Structure 1
Amino acid sequence: MVLNLVIAKAQINPRKVELFNSDWKFYIGDDAKAKDENYNDSQWRQLSLPHDWSIEGAFSETNPTGQAGGGLPAGIGWYRKIFMVSATSQSKNIFIDFDGVYCNSEVWINGHYLGKRPNGYISFQYDLTPFLHYGAEKNVIAVKVDNSAQPNSRWYTGSGIYRNVWLSTTAKSYIPQWGTFVTTQVNIKNAIVRMQTLVVVHQEGLRVKASVYAPNGELVNSIITPIESADTLATIQQNIIVGQPKLWSVDKPNLYKVVLQVLLGTQVIDKYQSFTGIRTFNFDKDKGFSLNEEPMKIKGVCMHHDLGALGVAINVRAMERQLQILKAMGCNAIRTAHNPPAPEFLDLCDRMGFIVMDEAFDMWRKKKNKQDYYQYFPEWHKRDLEDQIKRDRNHPSVMMWSIGNEIREQFDSTGIILTRELVGIVKSLDNTRPVTSALSEADPKKNFIYQSGALDVLGFNYHPETYADFPKNYPGQKFLASETVSGYATRGYYDTPTDSTRHWPTSSKAKLTQGNPEFAVTAYDNVAAYWGATHEEYWKIIKKYDFLSGEFVWSGFDFIGEPVPYPWPARSSYYGIIDLAGFPKDVYYMYQSEWTTKPVLHLLPHWNWEPGKTVDVWAYYNNADEVELYLNGRSLGIRKKQGDDLHVSWKVPYEAGTLRATSRLNGKIVLTEEVKTAGAPARIELVADRKLIKSDGNDLSFVTVRILDAAGNLVPNADNLINFIIKGKGMLAGIDNGSQNSMESFKEPHRKAFHGLCLAIVQAMQSPGAITLTAQGDGLKPATVIIRVR
């Protein structure tokens, strides 16, 4: 499934909303004169947005972002763009919309100062109308981005105008940005779509026409309401009944389109559209979460906003790929850790069927980093939170708001006052969803955010030992495991034995002494942070109790920064179920066997070891009674899950050859999987996730590079240097291999394989044709793949 969602943001004429991403000039450094209209930027670099300049830099331990920020550069950057506005637009309003700038952005138009937004994750708009030149005279927009105050984050943030920019043109009377609020009410036979619309009024005789369209595009009904208010800002309430509604769910994410038109007589002077999903959901203190009155465990993951080798510069296809990989695992929910996501990310969740916990802040007044948002919170938190709620409240995927993550005010009485204030802000704009906060203090007597009494659902990070006693310790409360696991793994790396669980480091003050020179963590699921537990340990608890609404695993994907448990040169996290390049780690298949009904049989580890070594062999499976293991045709015994087991295992003295597992149900074979001993690296294989992409300048093909032996087996420890040559209508947007401590640039056309794999990300240009990607390595037979662009 490929979704062209960026184009969908452009509203229907006469309102004109167009991407404003092309033909910008960029400069790293600070020059106060760059805001001036006639500044000479001829030597600046020309580029298109979205843009993250940090991802283009070199990793260094001395960069002020520090290891937690991935060791990539930050600093100050300037963007400028020249554009023309036709003389016919003088009767219009013209706005510029920024979906996200990291961080401390300041904006000028033709030398006039428009404002500042410190928050790097929030969307905002400026009115350009009073300051524009029309006709043949040019206009200059200048943006200063100041990410120089470091450290300001516990993870990689990126730097720059990293989300989309839009130019919006409206009539003088119009529906303002985020000016609609659509809610639904469902009963047995029908639903009511309720629309609350703001209209900026500059003339008499206006009416608002609301139309609702079914998922198949057919008109459900329309209603027209006159604007009788004498105020310049009118609020219009309208209801439309939908008979036999098609409900939105994670399996069938049906979307209804709401079109709002401002009419003057018979003339449409503004048109604004939104999407909604008709659904009911509930959190219950005894039965947990339900969607459309059906019990459902929230099987979620936490996701930071970076896109691996692409940095934080948003790309719809890259986000879609992440969600597709998670969906195939059985994931049905995303927590946006720990800030508002890109609008297009929520569009994807709406259309693909994900429940979203939309999170606002990682800190309030008390800091976690020397230069973080705490210093702006007193002045900006109300505006930022209001803008987040208004922007995101029409998304049916959003089913809860989170006002914070592990906020330090939970440990003293200031947490009571601030929690009540923040919940009040949310409820004033949306009373249809519960409000939670991710709490790290599990003792109710010590947790002042809980004591505020303002939270609808209690979200707890970790402390799995308290879950069974939750109803006793928090009587009458609803519960969600807002962050779980913090298990570590390096894809393709294994050490044995696996008889015990290890916790690294052992406390917040301890330094890691365990480990190895490779800065790797075994991919067996038996290593976790001291505050967490393994994936299996957590899921056993979550699935056991009905009152547990579900969990959000830390984390879905590895992300840049926060490389616990190792010191430099580790620069990316080890927490992901999936590595930074998008390659699943072994535990992915545990979740797939538990979270889906599709047949699963996954065997680990690889089968290249020194002779005689005893190797722990694990198998994840479902839809079967048993698994039998064979080595070179000899049976090594049948294993069956006992009690709450989530895998079966054998201890096998290694000998080269073929390891084969067969799962059976009622004596009949369900699946068979083989792992073979690989020989020396002999050739390269290229596997593109899509061989046909769009010529829009943004579409991507993710090409997996596999190092194979002469017989076609993946070589599990291959680390050959691969060089890439690209020709035709495309470019290399990034290269990665999933290694958490590689110092190789994401932007150079070469990469070492990591445990036999690496990844090339091919980006289309804006003209049709073909892209030829060739991968070469010393001593390896090269490979070529052709990607069509249309």
Structure 2
Amino acid sequence: MNSYTHRVEKLINDNWKFSYGDNITGKESDFDDSAWYDIGIPHSFGTPYFMENEFYVGYGCYRKQLHIEPEWKGKKILLEFQAAFQDAEIYLNGQLVGSHKGGYTAFIIDISAIAKEGNNLLFVRLNNLWNPRLAPRAGEHVFNGGLYRDVSLIVTEPLHIEWNGTYVTTPEVTTDQALVSLETEIVNANSQSVTFRLVSSVEYSGEQVFETVQSEVLGAGQCLTVKQTGFVDQPKLWHPDSPYLYTLISRLYEEDVLKDEVVTSFGMRWFYFDATEGFFINGSHYDILGANVHQDHAGWGDAVTRAGMHRDVKLIKDCGMNFIRGSHYPHHPYFATECDRQGVLFWSELCFWGVGGPNIEGYWTASAYPVHEEDKEEFEESCLETLREMIRTNRNHPSIITWSMSNEPFFSEDAVMEEARELTIRLVEESRRLDPTRPAAVGGAQRQGFDALGDLAGYNGDGASLYIDPGFPSFVSEYGSTIDQRPGEYTPSYTDGVESNPKWRSGKALWCGFHHGSFIFDMGYMGMIDYHRLPLQSWYWYRNELLGIAPPPKKKEGLPYALKLTSDKKVIRTDGTDDAYIIVELLNEQEERICNTLEITLEIIEGGAVFPTGRTLKLSPENGSFLDGAGAIELRSYYAGNIQIEARAEGVQSAIIEVMADGETEWLGQKINIQVGPPEVERIPGGGEGSNIAKSRPVFCSSFDPENPAMNVTDGCEGTYWRSKQSAPGEWIMVDLEGRKNTEKALVVFEELSQEDIEISFSYDGKYFKKLFTSNLRSDTSVELELSGGLRYLKVLFPQGPIAVKKIEIYD
């Protein structure tokens, strides 16, 4: 709680109850919730979750006793949810007080009229059912429901600064002077007009650099945006190498009485993307290199603490990268806060998202844009409203350099493709209106003309090689997509067209930074850091290349002797924002780490902390949690007191480590009803059999004629084809399904007959190929192949010389 009394901002992440199912009677005060799970926020339906391909889809309900102080009577009392996936109803004392649809953005609920002095019952009814009218309709992530981001209580005077109501821009910046523009939304919820005075002070390191004051009369029930400006001489400019931050303190007075105070962090910098010269920040060209980042962590799923977000940003920064793409939805605003503090450029993205495959309605494999007329209007408003919420809650972060409208929206049905483009244009226009200081990007824009619809084009997969100097600002928003496990290969996973760094290209981002949950087979195993936040060898490649730090020696097998436990901190907070990152290693007698396989048991032997699985956790090579002689997990506590964790395994010395939890509620041995996981999981529905899952997928090749690029073989159009630029032996073309898929057959159609043999082969990893077909095309220009099992890559090789390929289709 803040030290002053005019505004209260208090996390209420502790002491919640949770139950699966649509238990609407839980909103009643006399309901018996003793059988419900004891949980803290952030929380996921899926806990414990360890990258399974299936996840619970349905309802979940939450209950909490909310205490209202007597001095809050007559004030504005708000509940702030940083996100709730994805359709939430909020009740207080049995009455519905608000709702929200959309799973990735913050919202507030006004409970002023219902809240009573003393204890109040807060009840949240939430579902993660696929909804044809809510974005995303498709994606390769998992969509676990839950109150998976912080929940807070906010209390203000009737005269107050609106929620997220400060907006700071620096429209004119040089190294000599910066013009700072302030917009502050003032709300008067009183029943009569008031005269207010807004004092806006900008500080750096506690020293005031300028102050501006404005007085106005504001009518009852009205809202007013106050615009102010000021100048800062010799400003300290925010930059990834020097992330200087300023503080705006907005104080609102009625007469001489302080009624509200809001603190806003911001940075002074200027930047732009140029079509021919790339990216510039503070007047200098700057090469961007980074990674895509999903939000989920081992065991906890999407329910990540702020400490976990800090570690994620730090891991990207520590290998020398300077950029994160928030794939493929708005992230917690605190994630951008960490990018601000640590000096990492951030691409903030909307959840208008498509995924290749059969486009089945009823699950997150559907067309990115709705196929039914009755769904379209509400879906478009869902995208627009989420964009508005994303920008409003994140607009003061200097690390954010673009708002992205989408990821691969071209994975829409052909019949609605033009409407998908029109929606993208609407989103771009709305983004420009809401924030003209940042470009509106279109992410995953390498098909169907989406790249020309915004201010910045993000190309995924084969886009880097297809779009050479496109004539407008561009970015490689995804490259790599290498499936691997620790320790992995020492490689940057560069793909065609990415190794070089032409001036016109603004930057590039690896797919991806971390392993993540996915319902699509092994697609989640593409990170340079694993799900437990331990680096693969590719992370060490980047660190060596970018920072000159040599990789650690390769671990060897040895004689197991003892376990070693370490924690990244000795004290953790109990408010749901913090955790301890616990690493266990296997050592030989010389205290060197060895890579033997072993099953480890972690147990909390003292204190009120929990792992995602409760008081014990198993780490093993079989599930990928203990590899190369190490494993890790995040531990959190909602109770104060000393915590002891023990690691043990058969035949080796155990280890014990202590962590202190600091908070209000002491651990007194309370019984905790631990969540053991969902009662059932949703399976991907059938009905897509026989679909061409190669359509619009990335295509790589040895060379291509600019008029006939490789992408033509999966575009689904008649009359297009791929032709190599070279006529030498050894030319090839290859379709990438972006992950291993179950397949039944493939069809390859050539432009002409040929006397020369061709080879068709498949691969799971792009390194080792198995031949399916070796013959000539003397009598037929089509080759149909029966496929049993799965594949990721299908490759056509021309050992003697190439001919044109019209299409490659792969069916599930």
Global fold match (TM > 0.5): yes
CA distance in 1, matches of 2:636, 2:543: 30
* Alignment counterpart, residue 687 of structure 1, candidates 566, 571, 582: 566
Q: 1:777 corresponds to which residue?
A: 649
Aligned position for 2:604: 726
Q: Do residues 450 (structure 1) and 459 (structure 2) align?
A: no
Distance 1:159 1:708 in 2: 39
The more displaced of 164-173 and 44-53 is 44-53
Alignment CA distance shift 1:675-1:417 (3 Å) = closer
Deviation string 1:305-363 (CA, Å, 9 cap, x unpaired) is: 11222221120111111222221101211111111101211111111111111001233
Distance 1:192 1:106, change over 3 A: same
Distance 1:457 1:747, change over 3 A: farther
Give the corresponding residue for 2:266: 276
**CA–CA separation in structure 1 for the residues paired with 2:558 and 2:594:** 7
Matching residue of 2:479: 484
Q: Answer whether contact 2:564 2:586 (CA < 8 A) is retained.
A: yes
Q: Distance in 2 between matches of 1:280 and 1:695?
A: 39
Look up the match of 1:315: 305
1:573-606 CA distances to partner (integer Å, 9 max, x unpaired)?
Answer: 211011111111111122112322xx3333xxxx
SS class of match (2:47): helix
Letter in 1 for 2:146: G
Equivalent residue number for residue 158 of structure 2: 172
Residues 415, 451 of structure 1: CA spacing in aligned structure 2 closer, same or farther, 3 A cutoff?
A: farther
Give 1:392 shift: 0.8
Q: CA distance change for structure 1 residues 298 and 370 in 2, over 3 Å: closer, same or farther?
A: farther
2:617 paired residue among 749, 752, 762: 749
Following superposition, the deviation at residue 304 of structure 1 comes to: 0.9
Q: Distance in 2 between matches of 1:23 and 1:756?
A: 37
1:601–1:369 CA distance, 2 compared to 1 (3 A):
farther
Q: Do the aligned partners of residues 485 and 692 (structure 1) sit closer, same or farther apart at CA in structure 2, a change above 3 Å counting?
A: same
2:696 corresponds to 1:710: no
In the TM superposition, what are the counterparts of 1:465-476 in structure 2 within 5 Å?
466=465, 470-471=468-469, 474-475=470-471
Structure 1, gaps ≥5 residues long:
1-6, 60-66, 494-522, 526-533, 566-571, 603-672, 735-744
User: What runs of 5+ residues in structure 2 fail to find an aligned partner?
Assistant: 132-136, 621-625, 663-812
Tell me, yes or no, if structure 1 residue 49 matches structure 2 residue 41. yes
Structure 2 counterpart of 1:240, one-letter code:
G
Structure 1 match to 2:97:
114
Counterpart of 2:162 in structure 1: which amino acid?
P
Q: Is the 8 A contact 2:562 2:654 kept in 1?
A: yes
What residue is the counterpart of 1:579 in the other structure? 530
Partner SS, residue 389 of structure 1: helix
- Greater shift, 749-758 or 689-698, is seen at 689-698
C-alpha displacement at 1:549, in angstroms? 0.8
1:561 to 507, 518, 523: 518
- Alignment-derived partner of residue 391 in structure 2: 389
The answer (yes or no) to whether the contact 2:555–2:594 under 8 Å persists in 1 is no
**CA drift at 1:732:** 3.8
1:600 pairs, out of 549, 573, 585, with 549
Partner of residue 712, structure 2? none
Cα–Cα, structure 1 residues 368 and 174, in superposed 2: closer, same or farther, change >3 Å? farther
Q: Tell me how far apart the structure 2 counterparts of residues 370 and 387 of structure 1 sit (CA, whole Å).
A: 26
Residue equivalent to 1:191: 178
Question: In the alignment, which residue of structure 2 is the partner of 1:536?
Answer: 494
Q: By how many angstroms is 1:19 displaced?
A: 0.9
What secondary structure is seen at the aligned counterpart in 1 of 2:324? strand
CA deviations 1:644-678 (Å, max 9, x no partner) are xxxxxxxxxxxxxxxxxxxxxxxxxxxxx755753
Q: What code does the residue aligned with 2:442 have? A: S
Task: Return the letter of the residue paired with 1:189.
Answer: D
Give the Cα separation in 2 of the matches to 1:149 and 1:709. 50
Which of 60, 69, 77 is the matching residue for 1:86? 69
Q: Distance in 2 between matches of 1:253 and 1:170?
A: 32
Taking structure 1 as reference, are residues 697 and 559 closer, same or farther at Cα in structure 2, changes over 3 Å only? closer
| Greater Cα shift, 293-302 or 12-21 | 12-21
Contact 1:19/1:166 (<8 A) preserved: yes
Separation (CA, whole Å) in 1 of partners of 2:588 and 2:43: 39
Q: 1:679 to 1:380 in 2, by over 3 A?
A: closer
Matches of 2:246 and 2:211, distance apart in 1: 13
Q: Distance in 2 between matches of 1:711 and 1:365?
A: 50
Deviation at 1:141, TM superposition (A): 1.9
Judge conservation of contact 1:416–1:451 (CA < 8 Å) in 2: no
- Deviating more after overlay: 223-232 vs 482-491: 223-232
Aligned match of 2:20? 28
2:291 matches 1:301:
yes
Q: How far, CA to CA, are the matches of 2:9 and 2:93 in structure 1?
A: 21
CA-CA distance at 1:212 after TM superposition: 0.6
Q: Would the alpha carbon gap of residues 31 and 389 (structure 1) be closer, same or farther in structure 2, given more than 3 Å must change?
A: same
Contact 1:227 1:234 in 2 (8 A): no
Query: What residue identity is the alignment partner of 2:589?
Result: A
Distance in 2 between residues matched to 1:368 and 1:691, nearest whole Å: 49
TM-score, normalised via structure 1 length: 0.75
Q: Which amino acid counterpart does residue 434 of structure 1 have in structure 2? A: P
Counterpart of 1:575 in structure 2: which amino acid?
Answer: M
Bigger RCO (CA 8 Å, 6+ sep): 2
DSSP-derived class of the 1:413 partner: helix
Query: Which residue number corresponds to residue 749 of structure 2?
Result: none
For 1:89 and 1:541, locate their aligned partners in 2 and report how far apart those are by CA, in whole Å. Answer: 58
Show the counterpart of 2:10. Answer: 18
Q: CA deviation at 1:733?
A: 2.2
The SS at the match of 1:559 is coil
| Per-residue Cα deviation, 1:8-41 (whole angstroms, up to 9, x for no partner) | xx69641111112222222112223223354343
Q: 1:537-563, CA deviations, whole angstroms, 9 ceiling, x for partnerless residues?
A: 46x735431111111211101112255
Secondary structure at the residue paired with 1:544? coil
Partners of 1:400 and 1:379 in 2: CA distance: 21
AA matched with 2:63: R
- Output the amino acid matched with 1:51: H
Tell me: CA distance 1:50–1:710, structure 2 relative to 1, closer, same or farther (3 Å): same
Q: What is the identity, as a one-letter code, of the residue corresponding to 2:510?
A: V
CA distance in 2, matches of 1:398, 1:542: 25
Give SS of 2:148's match.
coil
Match of 1:158 in 2: 144
RMSD over aligned CA atoms reads 2.8
Tell me, yes or no, if the aligned pair for 2:196 and 2:215 is still in contact at 8 Å.
Answer: yes
Question: Amino acid of the residue matched to residue 603 of structure 2?
Answer: I
Length, aligned pairs only? 632
Partner of 2:380: 378
Give the aligned residue type for 1:326.
I
Q: Using a 3 Å threshold, how does the CA distance of structure 1 residues 551 and 173 change in structure 2: closer, same or farther?
A: same
Q: Is the 8 A contact 1:11 1:271 kept in 2?
A: no
After TM superposition, list the pairs within 5 Å mapping 1:424-443 onto structure 2.
424-442=429-447
Are 1:100 and 2:51 an aligned pair? no
Instruction: Report the CA distance between 1:42 and its aligned residue.
Output: 4.1
Output the amino acid matched with 1:573. Answer: G
CA distance 1:693–1:42, change in 2 (3 Å): closer
Q: CA deviation at 1:484?
A: 1.4
Q: 1:269 to 1:676 in 2, by over 3 A?
A: closer
Q: Residues 479 and 498 of structure 2 are in contact (CA less than 8 Å); yes or no, is this contact kept in structure 1? A: no
User: Secondary structure at 1:574's aligned position in 2?
Assistant: coil
- Alignment check: 8 A CA contact 2:173 2:179 kept: yes
Stretch of structure 1 that moved more, 172-181 or 683-692: 683-692
Distance 2:285 2:334 in 1: 29
Q: Distance in 1 between matches of 2:573 and 2:226?
A: 40
Query: Counterparts in 2 of 1:343-358, with a 5 A limit?
Result: 343-358=333-348
Q: Is the 8 A contact 1:563 1:574 kept in 2?
A: no
Letter in 2 for 1:296: Y
Distance in 1, matches of 2:634 and 2:339, equals 23
How far the C-alpha of 1:112 sits from its partner, in A, is 2.4
CA separation of 1:110 and 1:379: change in aligned 2, threshold 3 A: farther
Equivalent position amino acid for 1:547 in 2: W
Cα-to-partner distance string for 1:615-655 (whole Å, 9 max, x where unaligned)? xxxxxxxxxxxxxxxxxxxxxxxxxxxxxxxxxxxxxxxxx
Q: Which residue of 2 aligns with 1:646?
A: none
Match of 1:498? none
Distance 1:245 1:676, change over 3 A: closer
Paired residue type of 1:142: F
